[in-house]
Amino acid sequence: MEKYESYDAYLAALEKRGQLPEGFKTAVLPLSFFPEERKLINPLPMNMSLIMLDKPTTRFAGIFTSNRCPGSPVLIGRERLKSKQIRGILINNKIANVCMKTGVEDSISLLETLAESAGGKVEEYFPCSTGIIGWRLPIKAMKAVIPKLVSSLEGGTGVKLAKGIMTTDAFPKLRSIKVGKGRIVAVAKGAGMIEPNMATMLSYILTDISMGKSFLQKCLKRVADQTYNCISVDSDQSTSDSVILLSSGCKPAVEEDVFEAALLKLCTELAEDIVRNAEGSGHVIKVEVTGAQNDALAKAVGKAVINSPLVTTAIFGNDPNVGRLVSCVGDFMGINNLTFDKDQMSIWLGKELVFDKGSFCIDRRKEEKLSKYMKERSFDSDHKSYPEHNLTVDVLYKLSEKGKGHAVVKGTDLSYAYVKENADYRS
Amino acid sequence: MEKYESYDAYLAALEKRGQLPEGFKTAVLPLSFFPEERKLINPLPMNMSLIMLDKPTTRFAGIFTSNRCPGSPVLIGRERLKSKQIRGILINNKIANVCMKTGVEDSISLLETLAESAGGKVEEYFPCSTGIIGWRLPIKAMKAVIPKLVSSLEGGTGVKLAKGIMTTDAFPKLRSIKVGKGRIVAVAKGAGMIEPNMATMLSYILTDISMGKSFLQKCLKRVADQTYNCISVDSDQSTSDSVILLSSGCKPAVEEDVFEAALLKLCTELAEDIVRNAEGSGHVIKVEVTGAQNDALAKAVGKAVINSPLVTTAIFGNDPNVGRLVSCVGDFMGINNLTFDKDQMSIWLGKELVFDKGSFCIDRRKEEKLSKYMKERSFDSDHKSYPEHNLTVDVLYKLSEKGKGHAVVKGTDLSYAYVKENADYRS
* Whether B3 contacts B388, CB under 8 Å: yes
Identify the domain containing residue A24 by its residue range: 7-276
- CATH number (domain holding residue B292): 3.10.20.340
The predicted-structure confidence for B410-421, as pLDDT tens digits, reads as follows 988 877 666 665
* pLDDT number for residue A190: 83
% of chain A residues with pLDDT over 90: 69
Nearest CA among A198, A269, A348, A26 for reference residue B323: A198
A329 contacts B68? CB cut-off 8 A: yes
Across chain A, mean pLDDT equals 89
- Same domain as B292, residue B268: no
DSSP 3-state percent helix, strand, coil across chain A (nearest 5): 40, 25, 35
* pLDDT number for residue A321: 85
* pLDDT number for residue A418: 60
* pLDDT number for residue A232: 78
Domain for residue A2, yes or no?
Answer: no
- CATH number (domain holding residue A74): 3.60.70.12
* pLDDT number for residue A184: 98
pLDDT band at B45, cuts 50/70/90? confident
- Same domain as A268, residue A173: yes
- Same domain as A69, residue A210: yes
Mean pLDDT of B375-388: 78
Domain for residue A206, yes or no?
Answer: yes
Q: Which of B327, B336, B355 to mutate to test the interface with A (most CBs of A within 10 A)?
A: B327
Contacts of B427 in chain A (CB under 8 A): 317-319, 371
B80 CA to chain A: closest CA distance, Å?
21
pLDDT band at B114, cuts 50/70/90? very high
CB neighbours of residue A172 within 10 Å = 26
* pLDDT number for residue A236: 63
Q: Provide the domain count of chain A.
A: 2
ipTM over 0.90: no
A309 contacts B68? CB cut-off 8 A: no
B312 CA to chain A: closest CA distance, Å?
8
* Whether A197 contacts A238, CB under 8 Å: no
* pLDDT number for residue B203: 96
Domain for residue B2, yes or no?
Answer: no
Query: Residue B337: left if φ>0, alpha if ψ -120 to 50, beta else—which one?
Result: left
- Same domain as B216, residue B121: yes
- Same domain as B312, residue B271: no
- Same domain as A149, residue A35: yes
Q: Which of B99, B135, B167, B299 to mutate to test the interface with A (most CBs of A within 10 A)?
A: B99
Model confidence at A129: pLDDT above 80: yes
The predicted-structure confidence for B136-162, as pLDDT tens digits, reads as follows 899 999 999 999 999 999 999 999 999
B413/A53 Cα distance (integer angstroms)? 47
Among B241, B276, B311, residue at a domain's last position: B276
- Same domain as B358, residue B234: no
Domain for residue B1, yes or no?
Answer: no
Query: Residue B92: left if φ>0, alpha if ψ -120 to 50, beta else—which one?
Result: beta
- Same domain as B110, residue B57: yes
Domain for residue A374, yes or no?
Answer: yes
Q: Could you tell me which residue, A416 or B180, shows the higher pLDDT?
A: B180
Rank A219-233, A321-335, B103-117 by mean pLDDT and report only the highest: B103-117
- Same domain as B330, residue B252: no
- Same domain as A225, residue A298: no
Domain for residue B224, yes or no?
Answer: yes
Contacts of A338 in chain B (CB under 8 A): 68
Which residue is closest to A364 within chain B, CA to CA?
B37
Mean pLDDT of A40-51: 78
Model confidence at A12: pLDDT above 80: yes
Q: Which residues of A are catalytic?
A: 200
Which residue is closest to B315 within chain A, CA to CA?
A423
Mean pLDDT of A298-312: 90
Model confidence at B425: pLDDT above 50: no
Rank A205-219, A294-308, A409-423 by mean pLDDT and report only the highest: A205-219
Nearest CA among A58, A61, A57 for reference residue A217: A61
Across chain B, mean pLDDT equals 89
* pLDDT number for residue A360: 94
Which residue is closest to B40 within chain A, CA to CA?
A364
Q: Could you tell me which residue, A175 or A43, shows the higher pLDDT?
A: A175
Among B259, B276, B293, residue at a domain's last position: B276
Contacts of A319 in chain B (CB under 8 A): 423, 425-427
A120 CA to chain B: closest CA distance, Å?
32
A315/A283 Cα distance (integer angstroms)? 7
Model confidence at A40: pLDDT above 60: no
* pLDDT number for residue B185: 98
Indicate the length of chain A as a whole number: 427
- Same domain as B313, residue B413: yes
- Same domain as A301, residue A236: no
Among A218, A245, A276, residue at a domain's last position: A276
* pLDDT number for residue B420: 60
The predicted-structure confidence for B289-326, as pLDDT tens digits, reads as follows 999 999 999 999 999 999 888 888 888 888 888 888 99
Q: Could you tell me which residue, B222 or A35, shows the higher pLDDT?
A: B222
A419 contacts B69? CB cut-off 8 A: no
* pLDDT number for residue B17: 96
* pLDDT number for residue A195: 42
Domain for residue A21, yes or no?
Answer: yes
Model confidence at B33: pLDDT above 70: no
Residue A386: half-sphere exposure toward Cβ, Cα within 13 Å: 15
Following DSSP, what letter does each residue of A59-106 receive, concatenated? -EEEEE---SS-BHHHHHHHHHTTSS-EEEEEEE-SB--BS-TTHHHH
Collapsing DSSP to helix, strand or coil, A369 comes out as helix
Domain for residue A1, yes or no?
Answer: no
